[in-house]
Protein backbone atom coordinates (compact mmCIF):
# COMPACT_ATOMS: atom_id res chain seq x y z
CA UNK A 1 0.00 0.00 0.00
CA UNK A 2 1.07 3.55 -0.64
CA UNK A 3 0.28 6.65 1.44
CA UNK A 4 -1.73 9.13 -0.58
CA UNK A 5 -4.02 12.07 -0.03
CA UNK A 6 -7.79 11.65 -0.28
CA UNK A 7 -9.50 14.86 -1.40
CA UNK A 8 -13.23 15.20 -1.13
CA UNK A 9 -14.90 18.24 -2.65
CA UNK A 10 -18.60 19.07 -2.26
CA UNK A 11 -19.75 21.83 -4.57
CA UNK A 12 -22.61 23.09 -6.69
CA UNK A 13 -23.01 20.86 -9.75
CA UNK A 14 -22.71 23.91 -12.03
CA UNK A 15 -19.07 24.08 -10.91
CA UNK A 16 -18.38 20.41 -11.66
CA UNK A 17 -16.74 21.05 -15.05
CA UNK A 18 -14.38 23.69 -13.62
CA UNK A 19 -13.46 21.45 -10.72
CA UNK A 20 -12.79 18.41 -12.93
CA UNK A 21 -10.67 20.61 -15.20
CA UNK A 22 -8.69 21.63 -12.10
CA UNK A 23 -8.37 17.96 -11.08
CA UNK A 24 -6.98 17.06 -14.51
CA UNK A 25 -4.71 20.14 -14.64
CA UNK A 26 -3.29 19.31 -11.20
CA UNK A 27 -2.19 15.93 -12.55
CA UNK A 28 -4.51 13.66 -10.57
CA UNK A 29 -4.65 10.10 -11.92
CA UNK A 30 -8.45 9.97 -11.80
CA UNK A 31 -11.56 10.94 -9.92
CA UNK A 32 -14.95 9.71 -8.79
CA UNK A 33 -18.10 11.85 -8.88
CA UNK A 34 -21.28 11.30 -6.88
CA UNK A 35 -24.03 13.40 -8.41
CA UNK A 36 -27.26 14.71 -6.89
CA UNK A 37 -26.21 15.08 -3.31
CA UNK A 38 -28.14 17.39 -1.02
CA UNK A 39 -26.34 19.89 1.12
CA UNK A 40 -26.68 22.67 3.59
CA UNK A 41 -23.84 25.04 4.19
CA UNK A 42 -22.92 28.69 4.62
CA UNK A 43 -24.89 29.57 1.51
CA UNK A 44 -28.17 27.84 2.35
CA UNK A 45 -29.91 24.63 1.52
CA UNK A 46 -29.06 22.73 -1.66
CA UNK A 47 -31.65 20.13 -2.42
CA UNK A 48 -31.15 17.08 -4.63
CA UNK A 49 -34.85 17.17 -5.45
CA UNK A 50 -34.83 20.67 -6.90
CA UNK A 51 -35.81 20.96 -10.50
CA UNK A 52 -32.66 22.16 -12.18
CA UNK A 53 -29.02 21.21 -12.03
CA UNK A 54 -28.32 24.71 -10.79
CA UNK A 55 -29.53 23.71 -7.34
CA UNK A 56 -27.76 20.40 -7.06
CA UNK A 57 -24.51 19.58 -5.35
CA UNK A 58 -22.03 16.89 -6.24
CA UNK A 59 -19.21 15.16 -4.40
CA UNK A 60 -15.86 14.67 -6.11
CA UNK A 61 -13.37 12.17 -4.68
CA UNK A 62 -9.71 12.21 -5.69
CA UNK A 63 -6.80 10.02 -4.55
CA UNK A 64 -3.44 11.55 -5.40
CA UNK A 65 0.06 12.18 -4.08
CA UNK A 66 0.84 15.16 -1.87
CA UNK A 67 2.26 17.38 -4.63
CA UNK A 68 -0.86 16.97 -6.77
CA UNK A 69 -3.06 17.49 -3.70
CA UNK A 70 -1.36 20.80 -2.89
CA UNK A 71 -1.80 22.01 -6.48
CA UNK A 72 -5.43 20.89 -6.51
CA UNK A 73 -6.26 22.60 -3.21
CA UNK A 74 -4.87 25.88 -4.53
CA UNK A 75 -6.85 25.51 -7.78
CA UNK A 76 -10.09 24.64 -6.02
CA UNK A 77 -9.91 27.25 -3.24
CA UNK A 78 -10.97 30.25 -5.42
CA UNK A 79 -13.89 28.23 -6.88
CA UNK A 80 -15.12 27.38 -3.37
CA UNK A 81 -14.56 30.96 -2.22
CA UNK A 82 -16.68 32.26 -5.07
CA UNK A 83 -19.46 29.66 -5.23
CA UNK A 84 -19.39 27.91 -1.83
CA UNK A 85 -18.62 24.29 -1.07
CA UNK A 86 -16.12 22.38 1.00
CA UNK A 87 -12.88 20.50 0.45
CA UNK A 88 -11.59 17.97 2.96
CA UNK A 89 -8.16 16.35 2.77
CA UNK A 90 -7.31 13.13 4.63
CA UNK A 91 -4.41 10.70 4.62
CA UNK A 92 -5.23 7.33 3.09
CA UNK A 93 -3.49 4.11 2.17
CA UNK A 94 -3.94 3.34 -1.52
CA UNK A 95 -4.05 -0.35 -2.44
CA UNK A 96 -1.54 -0.82 -5.25
CA UNK A 97 -2.70 -3.15 -7.99
CA UNK A 98 -1.31 -1.92 -11.31
CA UNK A 99 0.86 -4.35 -13.20
CA UNK B 1 -6.00 24.47 6.12
CA UNK B 2 -7.63 23.74 9.43
CA UNK B 3 -7.83 20.39 11.25
CA UNK B 4 -11.44 19.33 11.64
CA UNK B 5 -13.44 16.19 12.28
CA UNK B 6 -15.16 14.42 9.41
CA UNK B 7 -18.28 12.57 10.56
CA UNK B 8 -19.96 10.09 8.30
CA UNK B 9 -23.28 8.61 9.36
CA UNK B 10 -25.06 5.82 7.46
CA UNK B 11 -28.63 5.29 8.64
CA UNK B 12 -32.14 4.42 7.54
CA UNK B 13 -33.62 7.29 5.53
CA UNK B 14 -36.61 7.44 7.90
CA UNK B 15 -34.15 8.69 10.54
CA UNK B 16 -32.71 11.41 8.27
CA UNK B 17 -34.82 14.23 9.74
CA UNK B 18 -33.87 13.34 13.34
CA UNK B 19 -30.21 13.09 12.41
CA UNK B 20 -30.16 16.42 10.55
CA UNK B 21 -31.93 18.03 13.52
CA UNK B 22 -29.13 16.63 15.71
CA UNK B 23 -26.53 17.98 13.27
CA UNK B 24 -28.07 21.46 13.44
CA UNK B 25 -28.52 21.32 17.21
CA UNK B 26 -24.88 20.30 17.70
CA UNK B 27 -23.86 23.50 15.90
CA UNK B 28 -22.37 21.98 12.74
CA UNK B 29 -21.80 24.58 9.99
CA UNK B 30 -23.42 22.38 7.33
CA UNK B 31 -23.87 18.89 6.00
CA UNK B 32 -24.03 16.82 2.82
CA UNK B 33 -26.53 14.00 2.27
CA UNK B 34 -26.23 11.15 -0.22
CA UNK B 35 -29.62 9.55 -0.60
CA UNK B 36 -30.57 6.07 -1.75
CA UNK B 37 -27.55 4.13 -0.65
CA UNK B 38 -27.77 0.40 -0.19
CA UNK B 39 -26.47 -1.20 2.94
CA UNK B 40 -26.05 -4.39 4.83
CA UNK B 41 -25.40 -4.35 8.54
CA UNK B 42 -26.31 -5.92 11.83
CA UNK B 43 -30.00 -5.45 11.05
CA UNK B 44 -30.06 -7.00 7.59
CA UNK B 45 -29.99 -5.85 4.02
CA UNK B 46 -31.15 -2.36 3.07
CA UNK B 47 -31.72 -2.02 -0.62
CA UNK B 48 -31.73 1.25 -2.58
CA UNK B 49 -34.09 -0.38 -5.06
CA UNK B 50 -36.78 -1.18 -2.52
CA UNK B 51 -40.11 0.45 -3.10
CA UNK B 52 -40.47 2.76 -0.15
CA UNK B 53 -38.23 5.19 1.65
CA UNK B 54 -38.62 3.01 4.72
CA UNK B 55 -36.10 0.57 3.30
CA UNK B 56 -33.54 3.04 2.06
CA UNK B 57 -30.37 4.19 3.73
CA UNK B 58 -28.67 7.54 3.40
CA UNK B 59 -25.17 8.81 4.11
CA UNK B 60 -24.69 12.08 5.95
CA UNK B 61 -21.31 13.81 5.85
CA UNK B 62 -20.41 16.56 8.31
CA UNK B 63 -17.19 18.56 8.72
CA UNK B 64 -16.99 20.30 12.09
CA UNK B 65 -14.67 21.13 14.98
CA UNK B 66 -14.01 18.65 17.77
CA UNK B 67 -16.47 20.17 20.26
CA UNK B 68 -19.33 19.98 17.78
CA UNK B 69 -18.26 16.45 16.79
CA UNK B 70 -18.38 15.26 20.40
CA UNK B 71 -21.87 16.74 20.85
CA UNK B 72 -23.05 15.23 17.57
CA UNK B 73 -21.71 11.76 18.38
CA UNK B 74 -23.60 11.79 21.69
CA UNK B 75 -26.80 12.96 19.98
CA UNK B 76 -26.57 10.37 17.19
CA UNK B 77 -25.58 7.39 19.33
CA UNK B 78 -29.11 6.71 20.73
CA UNK B 79 -30.62 6.99 17.22
CA UNK B 80 -28.13 4.42 15.89
CA UNK B 81 -28.64 2.21 18.94
CA UNK B 82 -32.40 2.20 18.35
CA UNK B 83 -32.59 2.00 14.56
CA UNK B 84 -29.19 0.68 13.44
CA UNK B 85 -26.60 2.43 11.32
CA UNK B 86 -22.97 3.47 11.69
CA UNK B 87 -21.04 6.62 12.48
CA UNK B 88 -17.38 6.98 11.58
CA UNK B 89 -15.19 9.87 12.70
CA UNK B 90 -11.91 10.75 10.99
CA UNK B 91 -9.46 13.63 11.17
CA UNK B 92 -9.43 15.81 8.07
CA UNK B 93 -7.85 19.01 6.85
CA UNK B 94 -10.50 21.54 5.86
CA UNK B 95 -9.54 23.91 3.03
CA UNK B 96 -10.31 27.43 4.28
CA UNK B 97 -11.84 29.72 1.68
CA UNK B 98 -14.26 32.03 3.41
CA UNK B 99 -13.57 35.75 3.05
CA UNK C 1 -15.40 4.90 20.26
CA UNK C 2 -13.31 2.16 18.72
CA UNK C 3 -10.49 2.52 16.20
CA UNK C 4 -11.37 0.72 12.98
CA UNK C 5 -10.37 0.72 9.34
CA UNK C 6 -12.53 2.49 6.78
CA UNK C 7 -12.23 0.87 3.34
CA UNK C 8 -13.58 2.61 0.30
CA UNK C 9 -13.62 0.76 -3.00
CA UNK C 10 -14.59 2.35 -6.32
CA UNK C 11 -15.11 -0.19 -9.09
CA UNK C 12 -17.14 -1.04 -12.13
CA UNK C 13 -20.69 -2.00 -11.10
CA UNK C 14 -20.33 -5.33 -12.93
CA UNK C 15 -17.78 -6.25 -10.25
CA UNK C 16 -20.09 -5.31 -7.36
CA UNK C 17 -21.25 -8.87 -6.67
CA UNK C 18 -17.69 -10.24 -6.54
CA UNK C 19 -16.59 -7.42 -4.28
CA UNK C 20 -19.53 -7.83 -1.88
CA UNK C 21 -18.81 -11.58 -1.78
CA UNK C 22 -15.22 -10.71 -0.85
CA UNK C 23 -16.48 -8.29 1.83
CA UNK C 24 -18.68 -11.01 3.34
CA UNK C 25 -15.96 -13.67 3.06
CA UNK C 26 -13.45 -11.39 4.79
CA UNK C 27 -15.80 -11.23 7.77
CA UNK C 28 -16.81 -7.56 7.57
CA UNK C 29 -19.83 -6.75 9.76
CA UNK C 30 -21.57 -4.84 6.96
CA UNK C 31 -21.20 -2.48 4.03
CA UNK C 32 -22.71 0.52 2.31
CA UNK C 33 -22.98 0.84 -1.48
CA UNK C 34 -23.41 4.05 -3.45
CA UNK C 35 -24.51 3.16 -6.95
CA UNK C 36 -24.23 5.11 -10.18
CA UNK C 37 -21.09 7.06 -9.52
CA UNK C 38 -19.13 8.49 -12.41
CA UNK C 39 -15.42 7.99 -12.61
CA UNK C 40 -12.30 8.59 -14.60
CA UNK C 41 -9.24 6.50 -13.99
CA UNK C 42 -6.43 4.63 -15.65
CA UNK C 43 -8.95 2.78 -17.82
CA UNK C 44 -10.86 5.79 -19.14
CA UNK C 45 -14.10 7.57 -18.40
CA UNK C 46 -16.93 5.78 -16.62
CA UNK C 47 -20.15 7.73 -16.93
CA UNK C 48 -23.15 7.39 -14.61
CA UNK C 49 -25.33 8.45 -17.52
CA UNK C 50 -24.30 5.62 -19.82
CA UNK C 51 -27.02 3.26 -20.88
CA UNK C 52 -26.03 -0.02 -19.32
CA UNK C 53 -24.76 -1.09 -15.94
CA UNK C 54 -21.61 -2.26 -17.67
CA UNK C 55 -20.41 1.34 -17.81
CA UNK C 56 -21.30 2.39 -14.31
CA UNK C 57 -19.13 2.57 -11.25
CA UNK C 58 -20.13 2.08 -7.64
CA UNK C 59 -18.57 2.98 -4.32
CA UNK C 60 -18.46 0.44 -1.51
CA UNK C 61 -17.77 1.59 2.05
CA UNK C 62 -16.74 -0.86 4.75
CA UNK C 63 -15.89 -0.28 8.42
CA UNK C 64 -14.04 -3.21 9.95
CA UNK C 65 -11.17 -4.18 12.22
CA UNK C 66 -7.60 -4.40 10.95
CA UNK C 67 -7.55 -8.20 10.49
CA UNK C 68 -10.66 -8.11 8.33
CA UNK C 69 -9.29 -5.10 6.44
CA UNK C 70 -6.08 -6.94 5.59
CA UNK C 71 -8.02 -9.97 4.33
CA UNK C 72 -10.36 -7.75 2.31
CA UNK C 73 -7.51 -5.81 0.70
CA UNK C 74 -5.89 -9.05 -0.45
CA UNK C 75 -9.22 -10.34 -1.82
CA UNK C 76 -10.03 -7.12 -3.65
CA UNK C 77 -6.57 -6.46 -5.12
CA UNK C 78 -6.83 -9.05 -7.95
CA UNK C 79 -10.32 -7.77 -8.89
CA UNK C 80 -8.99 -4.21 -9.14
CA UNK C 81 -5.90 -5.39 -11.00
CA UNK C 82 -8.06 -7.15 -13.57
CA UNK C 83 -10.93 -4.69 -13.98
CA UNK C 84 -9.61 -1.36 -12.68
CA UNK C 85 -10.82 0.63 -9.72
CA UNK C 86 -9.34 1.95 -6.49
CA UNK C 87 -9.30 0.98 -2.84
CA UNK C 88 -8.47 3.50 -0.11
CA UNK C 89 -7.93 2.59 3.54
CA UNK C 90 -8.12 5.14 6.35
CA UNK C 91 -8.17 5.01 10.13
CA UNK C 92 -11.52 5.94 11.63
CA UNK C 93 -13.19 6.06 15.03
CA UNK C 94 -16.33 3.95 15.05
CA UNK C 95 -19.11 5.16 17.35
CA UNK C 96 -20.14 2.16 19.45
CA UNK C 97 -23.86 1.86 20.00
CA UNK C 98 -24.75 -1.83 20.14
CA UNK C 99 -26.42 -3.01 23.32
Query: Taking the CA of residue A3 as centre, how many other CA atoms within 13 Å lie in the half-sphere pointing to its CB?
Result: 6
**Rounded distance between C-alpha atoms, residue C27 and residue C56, angstroms:** 27
**Can you give the pTM of this predicted structure?**
0.90
* C27 contacts in chain B (CB < 8 Å): none
C88 touches chain A (CB under 8 A): yes
Let me know: does B10 contact B90? Beta carbons within 8 Å. no
**Rounded distance between C-alpha atoms, residue B48 and residue B54, angstroms:** 10
ipTM of the shown complex = 0.88
With the C-alpha atoms ordered B44, B80, C4, B58, is the resulting torsion angle positive or negative? positive
**Looking at the predicted structure, is the pLDDT value of residue B75 above 60?**
yes
Residue A93: closest C-alpha in chain C: C89
What pLDDT, on the 0 to 100 scale, is given for residue A86? 95
Look at B34 and C34 and tell me if their CB atoms are within 8 Å: yes
pLDDT digits (tens, 9 = 90+) for B9-60: 999 999 999 999 999 999 999 999 998 899 888 665 555 554 444 458 999 9
pLDDT digits (tens, 9 = 90+) for C19-70: 999 999 999 999 999 988 988 886 655 555 544 444 589 999 999 999 999 9
B75 touches chain C (CB under 8 A): no
Nearby residues of A48 by Cβ (< 8 Å), 6 or more positions away:
A36, A37, A38, A56, A57, B33, B35
**Rounded distance between C-alpha atoms, residue C82 and residue A93, angstroms:** 20
**Rounded distance between C-alpha atoms, residue C9 and residue C26, angstroms:** 14
Amino acid sequence: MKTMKRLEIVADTVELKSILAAVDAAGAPGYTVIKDVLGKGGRGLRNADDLTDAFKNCLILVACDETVATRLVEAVRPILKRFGGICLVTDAQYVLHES
